[in-house]
Structure 1
Amino acid sequence: MASILFGQRNLCVFPLRRHILDEVYQHGPYNCTIQRRWKKPVDSARTRLEGRTRDHKLDKLMIQLKNLRLALDLHELISQQRNKYASLQLLSRWRHEVGLNIEIGAFLKKYPHIFDIYVHPIKRNECCKVTPKMSELIAQEDAAIRENELAIAKRLKKLLMLSKDGTLNMHALWLVRRELGLPDDYRCSILPNHQSDFSLSSPDTLTLITRDENLAVADVEEWRAKEYTEKWLAESETKYAFPINFPTGFKIEKGFRGKLGNWQRLPYTKAYEKNELHPIRNIERLEKRIVGILHELLSLTIEKMIPLERLSHFRKPFEMEVNLRELILKHPGIFYISTKGSTQTVLLRESYSKGCLVHPNPVYNDVVALMKWTVHFGFLRSTIRKADASNGRLLASLAEAAFLTGLEKNSWNPDAIVFNSWQQYGTHILATLMRWLHLQSPGKTLRYLSESKGCACMRWRRLGLASDFSVKNRMSDL
């Protein structure tokens, strides 16, 4: 009956929407347009990466580290010059080699504490050199690396013990030298001092000579022992468990906790154990072993992070021949992939708290000291404390002017600071001067000359001027 009613001859009974039925019969009732609505959504590593829960504090850290790397690359280029300076015209040619997507002059002026821009007295062109304070901080970092030679050798030894046959390609080691805290000349400065532990069997292969079983203890094993003794947990709950720390806003679906508990209790061959002794035929146990190897590899780095693309050089020697990005995205409580900083970087979540490393080391402390000099204060614009400079205290007005000049990227925001001090002091000079400082002069600092007199001095060197403002107020006015 239905075939007769909806036949092609009886379509005149339904004059409305006849053209729609014609298209259906012309291309078939299951054409591509109709099937597209019923298509199952794609679930891949790329879609999971785009839909993951973001950790904004770690993303902000990666942006700061990117700016630090750019500044260090420019420092290296400038230091290679004969007189330790370079013209802005020459630096602009190296802009793309360093990775800058803005003008070189705009980048250098963001960091006046790192780069000193001046006019050459003879050539009369703008040149740039690194400030003495920045050079001192970089020298301190190099000295910290040299002083930790034994720790570096221990780290290299554990890294070779993770590999299948105790060997690593020198090119792969060179790519992660900064993450491991190795000096650039480690091949000449460190390896010859530890010939009983390492050997270069070929020019491009580093081989471990002696295996130290005392070092075959993963970082997660120490965490498990601490959890077992301090929190009185059952051995079955901690023997194969990993520390879990989900980002803020992570959505826990129904049944997720049960699956996570079963995965935590799943036994596996640990990182420093040979896989040949305990062959794994279960895919879940194999993936958990790879998670353990990745966890230990990140624990051996200085900043507990490593670029995702460089992990591909360790897939074969560490027997991690799976899709690493997909595996990492399966465990958001252990790892985090940040796409900030023009690259995808894997971070160990348990090692960070509020965007800072929980257990820093001397080399990391020097990196943090360098990073503080490259923080672009424009990112703090929405979080700074708003203040009124016309509250009747001249010293507070000068302090706010000096403070907000760096934070507001040399742009006057009336909501942040009000320049109507003439209403309080009866003069337009101070208001005009503060506005000029705020708009025109970058790099101002506020100094306390002495607490007894309570004086404040604001100095700037924009046009070769120098001015001191001394006010006999109490320091509590700040």
Structure 2
Amino acid sequence: MLFKTYSVYTNTIKHLLHKQSLINPLFNLHTKPISSLKVVWRKDPQLDHAIERDKQYKLCSKVVKEVLNEPGQVIPLRYLEKRRDRLRLNIKIPTFLNKNPALFDVYHDRIRPKSEPVRFVRVSHRLRNFLEEERRIVLKNEEWIVLKLCKLLMMAKDKVLSVDKLVHVKREFGFPNDFLVNLVHRYPNYFRLIGPPEEGKSFLELVEWNPEFAKSVIEQRAEEESCLTGIRVRPNFYYKLPSGFFLRKEMREWVRDWLELDYISPYVDVSHLDQASQEMEKRTVGVFHELLSLSLFKRIPVPILGKFNEEYRFSNAFSSVFTRHSGIFYMSLKGGIKTAMLREAYKDGELIQRDPLLEIKDKFVQLLEEGWQERAEQLRLQKEEVKKDREMLAMMDGDMDGQESSRELDGQEVEE
């Protein structure tokens, strides 16, 4: 259910709430700390399945990046085997290679000139073709990547973010591996790199504020609706609880009143707001909504979001926001990792609006599926060969039995 919203004057609200709290004890809920408002977590199987469905793709992608980061993009198979725990790969590398034949080639070479030849892993020809396609897609969407990067900086407290943290989230937002080396330097009007990256203390700073970029997804949606209807639409969150999910009466009242507060853009300065205020809660939810909207899959692991506590002014207990606002977010526990998901971005577990950079994922999955189909065909042919061999042996056994019977009959005739 999408809560209907209208303008509310803060001072009037405070006066009325204070007056009502003297009459009705339930209104004391509005004066309680926000952190004390609890909502029971409820599993959403469809959204959990969306994460599970991408598990194989992400695992293969991690192994590919591991090899690509090696000198010459080759690695001894036994070295890769030693990294299985770090890659969270629960099968041995030879088994992984057999199951995904489109990704790598295995060949023999020497680690040192006089050493015995060992098995090496290198990028396959088909994977190299995919990497070329990936570069083409990134180049085609470069403006979108620049916009995303600007927005991340514009939401930050001092319009500055640590390079280490940006590298850590590049996969979540679809930034190319070399975005700090190539892309940033091509846009000096937007970005300035501060400090040497090799020392691990470098930062990316926003140079120019573009007001067109400082519009959140929610604000853009309200503008579009206003243009279509001719009626001014106030920006606010879509709030829809999943089927079978209910809030206690007092919590419903709190959510209703909270939604009636004015929307606070994630791009405005909020240094004057109290961290424990409802207005700050509104702004925090707005930042999370915008971050998830900019991400590739409209979901981000909670520990990754936690790395930006200081830059985006999150409280230490920020993760409770995702369960407190269950009509906006879902916090999945799939895979033993908390993942914040944007409910409105999914329908029946499928993304509604896909990020243009997801074309890269589609091409990679297509490559994987080609390899899987080839392997399945090879296994089918092998089974047919085994079946034919067994039938041939059975026929030969039958012929031999027939010959033995014939010899026995001939012997009986001779005796007679």
> By the TM > 0.5 criterion, same fold?
yes
Output aligned runs, 1:67-466, within 5 Å: 67-79=56-68, 88-114=77-103, 131-203=124-196, 204-228=202-226, 239-254=234-249, 256-276=251-271, 279-280=273-274, 283-371=277-365, 443-444=376-377, 460=381
- What SS is found at the alignment partner of 1:337? strand
Instruction: Name the stretch that deviates more: 243-252 or 67-76.
Output: 243-252
Q: State the alpha-carbon separation in 2 of the partners of residues 191 and 304 from structure 1.
A: 24
- Measured after TM superposition, the shift of residue 290 of structure 1 is 0.6
Structure 1 residue aligned with 2:414: none
AA matched with 1:329: T
Provide, for residues 135-172 of structure 1, a one-character-per-residue CA deviation record: whole Å limited to 9, x for no partner: 43343233212332222122211211111221111111
Q: Note if contact 1:247-1:333 (Cα within 8 Å) is conserved in structure 2.
A: yes
TM-score, normalised to structure 1's length? 0.61
- Give identity over the alignment, percent: 27
Q: State the alpha-carbon separation in 1 of the partners of residues 300 and 84 from structure 2.
A: 25
AA matched with 1:61: A
Q: State the alpha-carbon separation in 1 of the partners of residues 384 and 52 from structure 2.
A: 32
Q: State the alpha-carbon separation in 1 of the partners of residues 243 and 98 from structure 2.
A: 35
AA matched with 2:241: F
- Measured after TM superposition, the shift of residue 239 of structure 1 is 2.1
Q: State the alpha-carbon separation in 1 of the partners of residues 73 and 189 from structure 2.
A: 40
Provide, for residues 260-314 of structure 1, a one-character-per-residue CA deviation record: whole Å limited to 9, x for no partner: 33221112532112224x6458711111111011111222222222221111222
Q: Note if contact 1:240-1:264 (Cα within 8 Å) is conserved in structure 2.
A: no
Q: Note if contact 2:218-2:235 (Cα within 8 Å) is conserved in structure 1.
A: no
1:85 and 1:271, CA in 2 relative to 1: closer, same or farther beyond 3 A?
Answer: closer
Point out where structure 2 has 5 or more consecutive residues left out of the alignment: 1-33, 111-115, 197-201, 389-416
Root mean square deviation, CA, Å: 3.8
- What SS is found at the alignment partner of 1:244? coil
Provide, for residues 66-102 of structure 1, a one-character-per-residue CA deviation record: whole Å limited to 9, x for no partner: 3222212222334466786666544322211211233
Provide, for residues 108-153 of structure 1, a one-character-per-residue CA deviation record: whole Å limited to 9, x for no partner: 444445456x786999987766554444334323321233222212
1:63 and 1:135, CA in 2 relative to 1: closer, same or farther beyond 3 A?
Answer: farther
- Measured after TM superposition, the shift of residue 219 of structure 1 is 0.5
1:442 and 1:209, CA in 2 relative to 1: closer, same or farther beyond 3 A?
Answer: closer
Q: State the alpha-carbon separation in 1 of the partners of residues 123 and 46 from structure 2.
A: 29
1:141 and 1:83, CA in 2 relative to 1: closer, same or farther beyond 3 A?
Answer: closer
Answer yes or no: is 1:52 the counterpart of 2:47.
Answer: no
AA matched with 2:305: L
1:92 and 1:200, CA in 2 relative to 1: closer, same or farther beyond 3 A?
Answer: closer
1:205 and 1:462, CA in 2 relative to 1: closer, same or farther beyond 3 A?
Answer: farther
Q: State the alpha-carbon separation in 1 of the partners of residues 240 and 130 from structure 2.
A: 33
- What SS is found at the alignment partner of 1:460? helix
Q: Note if contact 1:180-1:301 (Cα within 8 Å) is conserved in structure 2.
A: yes
Q: How many pairs does the alignment contain?
A: 341
Q: State the alpha-carbon separation in 2 of the partners of residues 115 and 63 from structure 1.
A: 24
1:231 and 1:57, CA in 2 relative to 1: closer, same or farther beyond 3 A?
Answer: farther
1:219 and 1:184, CA in 2 relative to 1: closer, same or farther beyond 3 A?
Answer: same
Higher helix share: 2
- Measured after TM superposition, the shift of residue 193 of structure 1 is 0.9
- Measured after TM superposition, the shift of residue 250 of structure 1 is 2.0
Q: Note if contact 1:64-1:374 (Cα within 8 Å) is conserved in structure 2.
A: no
Q: State the alpha-carbon separation in 2 of the partners of residues 205 and 128 from structure 1.
A: 36
Q: Note if contact 1:240-1:268 (Cα within 8 Å) is conserved in structure 2.
A: yes
- Measured after TM superposition, the shift of residue 339 of structure 1 is 2.0
AA matched with 1:97: R
